[in-house]
Amino acid sequence: MKIGFIGLGNMGGPMAANLAKAGHEVTGFDMAPVEIDGVALAASGAEAAAGKDVVVTMLPNGQILRAVANEIVPAMDKGAAFVDCSTVDVESARAVAEQATAAGLLPVDAPVSGGVGGASGGTLTFMAGGSADAFAKADPLFDIMGQKAVHCGDSGAGQAAKICNNMILGITMIGTCEAFALADKLGLDRQKMFDVVSTSSGYSWTMNAYCPAPGVGPASPADNDYQPGFAAELMLKDLRLSQQAAEAADADTPMGQAATDLYKQFVENEGGLGMDFSAMLPRFEKRGRS
């Protein structure tokens, strides 16, 4: 396929490189100067999108996605797929999908899970929203960039799945960190805590696969001075998106709101900026009951 790829940062760059490595003709564009193996660089987003079978975007937020869509949708050929892999608000995803559909394009919102390591290794999970035809056109590219793609429903469903997933992740990480901090104060050895919880009803991904306690469980950012990984500010972004969606849908999400408030405090006031989201553990260790 001829592929345009807009947004060649820490996630988009490796994803575009994997598409090129698989033999696709990839033309990319980014506001920052970049060099990606196998990817030709265009002078603008519109130039990268013109004449392509598929255009992939990986952008920071919904406002930028809307601006990029205004630029590239008129330049794209009818029948081309517009695959947005950014994590943005559901309203922006649906608005851009409507714009693309009106122009005769096949829109797919397909945010990812797996982080920079997954982008480099081609092991991302894609949560996709859009028509069956749009998903079918994008699916071969998902197979290259990731290990799994789930068609979640109509436009916006991919973003909804990502937001709900990461709300669970943020809430669960806080609970895991709180439990380790409590275990410390009760004199319970961390390894013994892990041995019990990881094989009983407290089992979770944040405990078993991404343990926030250094030296316990599989290697994780906790074993690298809490260097991300998945940065706390990105978790805060996703939690804010979850609460924006909850407000729009009139959904009661008190735990999601509490997690949002805690990560906001951690990132903005407690040195969490630039740390992995599991660095909530040393944050709780320093605090007493208030």
For 100-123, the three-class secondary structure string (H helix, E strand, C coil) is: HHHCCCEEEECCEECHHHHHHHCC
The CA distance from 60 to 225, in Å, is 26
Looking at residue 289, its pLDDT comes to 85
Rounded Cα gap, residues 77 and 94, in angstroms: 20
- Beta-carbon contacts of 121 under 8 Å, excluding residues fewer than 6 positions away, are none
The SS3 assignment for 30 reads: coil
Alpha-carbon span 171 to 167, nearest angstrom? 6
Write down the pLDDT at residue 229: 87
Q: Is residue 162 flagged as an active site residue?
A: yes
E runs forming strands in the chain: 2-6, 25-29, 39-41, 54-57, 81-84, 106-109, 112-113, 124-130, 146-153
The pLDDT value given to residue 277: 98
pLDDT, position 115:
86
Render pLDDT for 43-84 as a digit per residue (tens, 0 to 9). 999 999 999 999 999 999 999 999 999 999 999 999 999 999
Domains and CATH numbers, the chain: 2-154 (3.40.50.720), 161-286 (1.10.1040.10)
Please, are residues 192 and 198 in contact by the beta-carbon 8 Å criterion? Answer: no
**Active-site choice (52, 137, 148, 162):** 162
Q: Check residue 94 and give its pLDDT.
A: 96
Name the stretches of the chain with pLDDT < 70. Answer: none
Query: Two tokens at 191?
Result: 């390894």
How far apart are alpha carbons 169 and 278 in whole angstroms?
A: 10
